[in-house]
Amino acid sequence: MSRKKMIPSWTFITVFLFICVCLLQSSIHAADASAADNIPELRKRQEEASPPAESPEQQPQPTNSNNNDVQPTQSNTAPQASNTGSALLPSDNGSAAGNASDNVAALPTSASFGNTIFPGMASFLTPKPSRSVSPVYRIDSRQNVTFVWEFKDLRVQPVNLTLAAVGPNSVAYTISVMQGAATSAVWNLGSIPDSQPDLMNAFYQIQLYDQRGLSAFHSPGWLSPQTGLTIGFYTLQPYGDTTATEGPGCPYCFNDNAVALGSAFGVACLTSAIVIYNLIF
Q: Average of pLDDT values for 108-133? A: 91
As a whole number of angstroms, the distance between CA 99 and CA 96 comes to 5
Instruction: Say which residue, 67 or 140, is predicted with more confidence.
Output: 140
Helix, strand or coil, per DSSP, at residue 218: coil
DSSP state of 50: S
Residue 170 near residue 131 (C-beta atoms within 8 A): no
Indicate if the pLDDT at residue 73 is higher than 50: no
Instruction: Provide the domain count of the chain.
Output: 2
pLDDT at 69: 46
Q: Average of pLDDT values for 164-185? A: 95
Closest to 257 measured CA to CA, from 29, 28, 21, 35: 29
pLDDT at 277: 78
Asked if 120 and 165 sit in the same domain, the reply is yes
Instruction: Say which residue, 64 or 170, is predicted with more confidence.
Output: 170
Which residues, listed in sequence order, are joined to residue 123 by a DSSP beta bridge?
150
pLDDT at 98: 41
What region, left, alpha or beta, does residue 225 occupy, with left being phi > 0 and alpha being psi -120 to 50 degrees? beta
Residue 230's CATH number: 2.60.40.10
Phi, psi of 205 (to 5 degrees): -90, 130
Asked if 131 and 207 sit in the same domain, the reply is yes
Indicate if the pLDDT at residue 237 is higher than 70: yes
As a whole number of angstroms, the distance between CA 209 and CA 12 comes to 78
Lowest pLDDT segment from 101-105, 201-205, 251-255, 263-267: 251-255
Side-by-side strand order, sheet with 144-152: 121-126, 144-152, 184-188
Closest to 148 measured CA to CA, from 129, 173, 120, 168: 129
Which of 15-29, 203-217, 224-238, 249-263 has maximum average pLDDT? 203-217
Asked if 158 and 268 sit in the same domain, the reply is no
Long-range Cβ contact pairs of 31-38 (< 8 A, separation 24 or more): 32/256, 33/250, 33/252, 33/253, 33/256, 33/257, 34/253, 37/250, 37/253
Phi, psi of 26 (to 5 degrees): -65, -40
Domain range enclosing 213:
111-234
- Domain for residue 93, yes or no? no
pLDDT tens per residue across span 8-21: 566 667 777 777 77
Q: Average of pLDDT values for 242-260? A: 58
Instruction: Say which residue, 158 or 18, is predicted with more confidence.
Output: 158
- Domain for residue 85, yes or no? no
Q: What's the predicted TM-score (pTM) here?
A: 0.51
pLDDT at 172: 95
Asked if 122 and 214 sit in the same domain, the reply is yes
Which of 4-18, 64-78, 233-247 has maximum average pLDDT? 233-247
Asked if 258 and 227 sit in the same domain, the reply is no
pLDDT tens per residue across span 14-65: 777 777 777 776 666 666 655 555 555 656 666 665 555 554 455 555 445 4
Per-residue pLDDT band for 120 (boundaries 50, 70, 90) equals very high
Tell me, what amino acid is at 162? Answer: T
Averaged pLDDT of the chain: 75
